[in-house]
Structure 1
Amino acid sequence: MSLLRAKIQDVFNEPACEKNRGKNATARKNGCSKPLTPGAAAGGCAFDGAKIVLQPITDVAHLIHAPLACEGNTWDNRGAASSGPTLWRTSFTTDLTELDVVMGQGERKLFKAIREIKEAYGPPAIFVYSTCVTALIGDDIEAVCKRAAEKFGLAVVPVNAPGFVGSKNLGNKLAGEALLDHVIGTVEPDDAGPYDINILGEFNLSGEFWLVKPLLDRLGIRVRACIPGDARYFDIACAHRARAAMMVCSTALINLARKMEQRWDIPFFEGSFYGITDTSEALRQISQLLVKKGADPEILGRTEALIAEEEAIAWKKLAAYRPRLEGKRVLLNTGGVKSWSVVHALMEIGIEIVGTSVKKSTVEDKERIKQILKDDNHMFEQMAPRELYAMLSEHKADIMLSGGRTQFIALKAKTPWLDINQERQHPYAGYDGMVELVRQIDIAIHNPIWGQVREPAPWDCQPAVREERPRTKSETATLHAVQEFAGTTAGDFGEC
């Protein structure tokens, strides 16, 4: 536990974080997240965050040393995609019971589970995750993993990120520390070249990195390791021989990028593959970093030629949507890098941004939003569901882009909604991804269902009374008697 405590303090003291540098020594030790309230929904624990970062490593067995519920609650919680191995989709857990805890059988059961996975699947590595229960009872997963690695001749990586130590974001960073301590640099590649790069913080959601990788392939740039999206264990183990790196989500893995720069002199920058302009800028910066590290400067010219060709194709496709979407208002309820990259992407085709959340955004993210929107009046740290509903029901936005948690607020307000977070079904990265994003927005806004659901319900309407023939004196007297008894008049009835 003392080693874990030291690791957590090291992660809190992140010199590459602008927000962290502005704190005093006492505040820096407390980290960036609010303390968790036991029993409250905190948006994920540290174990959940570590699992999010490491599970997309597709050829690795992920073994959860915990009672069954820990694995059940976190399994496959991201829509990452694999181009090959499927072992990461298999759930492994030691399934500790009360008897195992009382009798001290946790470490023995863990060792046996590692052996069974080795014999049944033969993976290149097994990642072993500590959880609240096993950390509290003192199971030494570091020692068990070391012994198992020696015994079975494969990499067994301990991931010390029990849920009670902090938030999901802290777990992201602890996962990066596990890769630094036990994986990266453990294998020497025999094919290292001047055009090798790493992509950090890219999760390949819905396979969207596959829209970007062909662009890099055309430039002769090889992705040595994409961490963690569609990754392979040996690619990550060789990641220390890349010449440059791009950071896609600094909130999650800034510590990994900074320490790789310190240890192996791999410069990095933060960029985005969302939107035409940002995709082009990312390609330029990758090429420029490679040239600074010794690559042939001719790659700069080839990069500009590729950008010009791809931008022309993308803008031609987007021209068909501009008349239908220009002036439409979008409310963006997400965070992190998407809080500014998607904003920039949508404004490129004339869509108006009425608000964007910055709940999970860094100081740099917020500064980018201010530069794009020219002010900070459209930024909100957190908006309560009641406020979101009021904004949408008053038609202040034509569509909301958010995650699945808030979709029902938009549906209740009878407003179009599009999933922009990890559960989405469509890839939005790169030039083709931008076209797909605009197409999905167009489909959502102009779906004829919204005109129907906004109509008054039939049971809220009273049809007008139509006479087939003139009433008799007796019928008229009877109608007046009924109306007088009911307290109504003939004028109270009319069409909806």
Structure 2
Amino acid sequence: MSSLSTKIQDVFNEPACEENRGKDAKARKKGCSKPLTPGAAAGGCAFDGAKIVLQPITDVAHLIHAPLACEGNSWDNRGAASYGPTLWRTSFTTDLTELDVVMGHGERKLFKAIREIKEAYGPPAIFVYPTCVTALIGDDIEAVCKRAAEKFGLPVVPVNAPGFVGSKNLGNKLAGEALLKHVIGTVEPDDAGPYDINILGEFNLSGEFWLVKPLLDRLGIRVRACIPGDARYLDIASAHRARAAMMVCSTALINLARKMEQRWDIPFFEGSFYGITDTSEALRQISQLLVKKGADPEILGRTEALIAEEEAIAWKKLAAYRPRLEGKRVLLNTGGVKSWSVVHALKEIGIEIVGTSVKKSTVEDKERIKQILKDDNHIFEQMAARELYAMLSECKADIMLSGGRTQFIALKAKTPWLDINQERQHPYAGYDGMVELVRQIDLAIHNPIWRQVREPAPWDCQPTVREELPSTKSETATLHVVQEFAGTTADDFGEC
């Protein structure tokens, strides 16, 4: 556990984080995330964060060394999309029992599980995740993985991020440390070129990166490794030969980007593929970094030509939506990179932002939002459910964009809602993704169901009858009712 403590302190002392550099030594040791409350989910533990970052590596077997309950539903991990290998969708666990814990059978059971996976599936690598239970009982995961790698002739990577050490975000960074220590740089590619890049912190949610990769392909830029979205083990192992890198989600893997720059001289920048302007700027910065690293400067001209062509197509498609959406008010309850990238994207077509959360956003993210909105009053750190409901029920927003956790607040307030987080069903990245995002907002706002649900219920609309109906339930009374209503018109009923 001493080595794990050292890793955690190293992650907390991240020099690439501007906010972290501004703290004193004592505050820096505490990290940025709030401590976990025992018995509370707290948005995910460190184990959950590590699994989120590494599971989209599709051809790797992910083995959870823990009781059965620690393994979740691998098939539904954050909505990351992939094609080809499906091994990452298979759940592997050592399924420790109370007897294994008491008798000390954990390490032996782990070694046996690694052997069975190797013989049955033959993966290029196996990632092993300890959890709270196996970390507390002292199983030496790294020793077992090292012995198994020597015995079976394949990489067995220990991912030392048990849940109790901290938050999900800390687990993201510990996963990056595992890649740096055991994976990246272990394979030398025979096809390295001057146009190779890495994309870091891109999860390919709903296949979003597949909307961006064709743009890079047209420029002759090869993505050597997209970490972790739809990645392959050998691609990540040879990622140290890329010439440049783009950081999509800095809160997750900023430590990975910085250390790859230090070790292998791979410069990086933080950008976004959300929105037309940000997508174009990301393509420009990628090309500029490649030129600085020795690529032919002619790529800059080709990049501008591609941007001009794609922007013209996208703006033409968006022109049909502008009259329907211009002036509409959006409440954005998300965080991280989406807190500023989506804001910028929506303002490009005239949508008004009435509020955006900055939960999980970095200092740089918050500064970008201030520059875009020109008003701090629309920025909130965290809004309680009651405040969200009050804002929506008072019609201060025409639609809310958020994750699935707050969708029922919008539905209760009878307000349109669109999923913008990892569970979303539609890709919103790149030029085509921006058009799709606007199309989905338009469909949600103008769905006729909202006008219907806001009307009073039929049983709240009482008819005005000229004579009091008989209270008896006889056939005579029934006949009287039929006769009474047979001659009525719309004017005889009260208004709703």
Q: TM-score, structure 1 length as denominator?
A: 0.95
Secondary structure of 1:133's counterpart equals helix
Q: Distance in 2 between the 1:210 and 1:493 partners?
A: 58
Please state how far the C-alpha of 1:72 moved relative to its aligned partner: 2.4
Aligned partner of 2:377 in structure 1 is 377
Moved segments of 4+, more than 2 Å: 72-77, 466-496
Q: Compared with structure 1, are the counterparts of its residues 176 and 480 closer, same or farther at alpha carbon in structure 2 (3 Å cutoff)? A: same
Following TM superposition, by how much is the alpha carbon of 1:476 offset from its aligned partner in structure 2, in angstroms? 19
Instruction: Give the secondary structure class of the aligned counterpart of 2:225.
Output: strand
Give 1:76 deviation, angstroms.
3.4
Alpha-carbon contact 1:465-1:494 (below 8 Å) kept: no
In structure 2, the CA distance between the partners of 1:475 and 1:404, relative to structure 1 (3 Å rule), is closer
8 Å CA contact 1:483–1:489 kept in 2: the answer is no
The separation in 1 between residues aligned to 2:461 and 2:481, in whole angstroms, is 24
- What's the CA shift for 1:375? 1.8
Contact kept, 8 Å, 1:194 with 1:295, in 2: the verdict is yes
CA deviation after TM superposition for structure 1 residue 75, in Å: 6.3
CA 190–397 in structure 1, closer or farther in 2 if over 3 Å, else same: same
Q: 1:495 Cα shift?
A: 3.4
SS at match of 2:474: helix
TM-score (norm 2): 0.95
Which digits, 9 at most, give the CA deviation of each residue in 1:117-157, with x for residues without a partner?
00110000000001000000000010000000000000100
Cross-structure match for 2:102: 102
Q: CA deviation at 1:429?
A: 0.3
Cα pair distance change 1:482/1:7, threshold 3 Å: same
Q: Which runs of 5+ in 1 are unaligned?
A: none
Partner residue, 1:239: 239
Measured after TM superposition, the shift of residue 488 of structure 1 is 23
Distance change >3 Å, CA 494–CA 188, structure 1 → 2: same
* Deviation of the 1:465 alpha carbon: 1.4
Q: Post-superposition shift, 1:234? A: 0.2
**Equivalent position SS for 1:83:** coil
User: 1:489 deviation in Å?
Assistant: 22
Structure 1 residue matching 2:331: 3-state secondary structure: strand
Is the 1:197–1:221 contact (alpha carbons within 8 Å) kept by the matching residues of 2? yes
Query: Residues 449 and 190 of structure 1: is their aligned pair in 2 closer, same or farther, counting only changes over 3 Å?
Result: same
Distance 1:281 1:460, change over 3 A: same
Contact 2:471 2:477 in 1 (8 A): no
1:277, 1:345 within 8 Å by CA — same for their partners in 2?
yes
**The 10-residue stretch of structure 1 (454-463 or 464-473) with the greater mean CA deviation from structure 2:** 464-473
Structure 1 residue 466 displacement after superposition: 3.6
| Identity level (%) | 95
**Partner in structure 2 of residue 337 of structure 1:** 337
Query: Secondary structure at 1:75's aligned position in 2?
Result: helix
Alpha carbons of 1:101 and 1:304: their partners in 2 closer, same or farther (altered >3 Å)?
Answer: same
1:478–1:145: structure 2 CA closer, same or farther, 3 Å change rule?
closer
Question: SS of the residue aligned with 2:418?
Answer: strand
Counterpart contact for 2:197–2:224, Cα < 8 Å:
yes
Residues in 2 aligned to 1:238 and 1:490: alpha-carbon distance in whole angstroms: 76
The answer to which of 361-370 and 65-74 deviates more is: 65-74
Deviation sequence 1:372-428 (CA, Å, 0-9, x none): 001211000000000000000000000000000000000000000000000000000
SS at match of 2:73: helix
Q: In terms of mean alpha carbon deviation, does 469-478 or 457-466 score higher?
A: 469-478
Q: Deviations over 1:349-381 (max 9, x none)?
A: 000000000011000000000000012110000
SS at match of 1:72: coil
Deviation string 1:441-481 (CA, Å, 9 cap, x unpaired) is 00000000001000101122211114599999999999999
Contact 1:169 1:252 (8 Å CA) reproduced: yes
Change (3 A) 1:472 1:213: closer
SS in 2 for 1:197: strand
Please give the secondary structure, in 2, of the residue aligned with 1:418: strand
Q: C-alpha separation between the residues in 1 aligned to 2:351 and 2:389? A: 21
SS in 2 for 1:269: strand
Do 1:322 and 1:350's aligned partners in 2 also have CA atoms closer than 8 Å? yes
SS of 2:76's equivalent? coil
Question: Does the CA-based 8 Å contact 1:176-1:256 persist in structure 2?
Answer: yes
Q: CA deviation at 1:77?
A: 2.6
Alignment of 1:27-426 (within 5 A): 27-72=27-72, 76-426=76-426
Distance 1:76 1:147, change over 3 A: farther
Please tell me whether the aligned partners of residues 74 and 90 of structure 2 are also in contact (alpha carbons under 8 angstroms): no
* Gap change, CA 1:120 and 1:151, over 3 Å in 2: same
Q: How big is each residue's C-alpha offset from its partner over 1:250-308, in whole Å with a ceiling of 9 and x where there is no partner?
A: 00000000000000000000000000000000000000000000000000000000000
Query: Taking structure 1 as reference, are residues 486 and 36 closer, same or farther at Cα in structure 2, changes over 3 Å only?
Result: farther
Whether the 8 Å contact between 1:317 and 1:435 is mirrored in structure 2 is yes
Q: CA deviation at 1:29?
A: 0.5
Per the alignment, residue 428 of structure 2 pairs with 428
Instruction: Identify the range of structure 1 (417-426 vs 78-87) with the bigger mean alpha-carbon deviation.
Output: 78-87
Deviation at 1:83, TM superposition (A): 1.9
Question: Kindly tell me: are residues 479 and 381 of structure 1, through their superposed partners in 2, closer, same or farther at Cα, counting changes over 3 Å?
Answer: farther
Q: How far apart, in 2, do the equivalents of 1:398 and 1:490 lie?
A: 33
State the alpha-carbon separation in 2 of the partners of residues 460 and 259 from structure 1. 65
Aligned partners of 2:464 and 2:492 also within 8 Å = no
How far apart are the structure 1 equivalents of 2:151 and 2:432?
Answer: 48
CA contact (8 A) 2:73 2:91 kept: no
Q: Distance in 1 between matches of 2:466 and 2:162?
A: 72
> Is this contact kept in 2: 1:51–1:74, CA < 8 A?
no
| Counterpart contact for 2:129–2:159, Cα < 8 Å | yes
Counterpart CA distance in 2 for 1:314 and 1:402 is 24
- Which stretches in structure 2 are left out of the alignment for 5+ residues? none
SS state of the match for residue 483, structure 2? helix
Cα distance in 2, alignment partners of residues 320 and 129 from structure 1: 50
Cα separation, 1, equivalents of 2:335 and 2:472? 70
Cα 1:245/1:465, change in 2 over 3 Å: same
Give the whole-Å Cα distance in 1 for the aligned partners of 2:76 and 2:471.
71
- Aligned mates of 1:82, 1:371 — CA distance in 2: 36
Structure 1 contact 464–495 (Cα < 8 Å) conserved: no
Deviation at 1:338? 0.2
2-structure distance, mates of 1:478, 1:193 = 88
- Retained in 1: the 8 A contact 2:74–2:89? no
C-alpha distance in 1, partners of 2:320/2:437?
14
- The structural deviation recorded for 1:311 is 0.2
- In the TM superposition, what is the alpha-carbon distance from 1:41 to its structure 2 partner? 2.5
Q: CA RMSD in A?
A: 4.1
Count of matched residue pairs:
496
Distance (Å, rounded) in 1 between the aligned partners of 2:150 and 2:478:
98
**Contact 1:48 1:74 (C-alpha < 8 Å) held by counterparts:** no
Deviates more, 1:473-482 or 1:37-46: 473-482
Q: Answer whether contact 2:470 2:477 (CA < 8 A) is retained.
A: no
SS in 2 for 1:312: helix
Partners of 2:276 and 2:430 within 8 A in 1 = yes
| CA–CA distance in structure 1, aligned partners of residues 204 and 29 of structure 2 | 33
Q: Which moved more, 1:31-40 or 1:265-274?
A: 31-40
Instruction: Mark the CA change 1:147 to 1:303 in structure 2 (over 3 Å): closer, same or farther.
Output: same
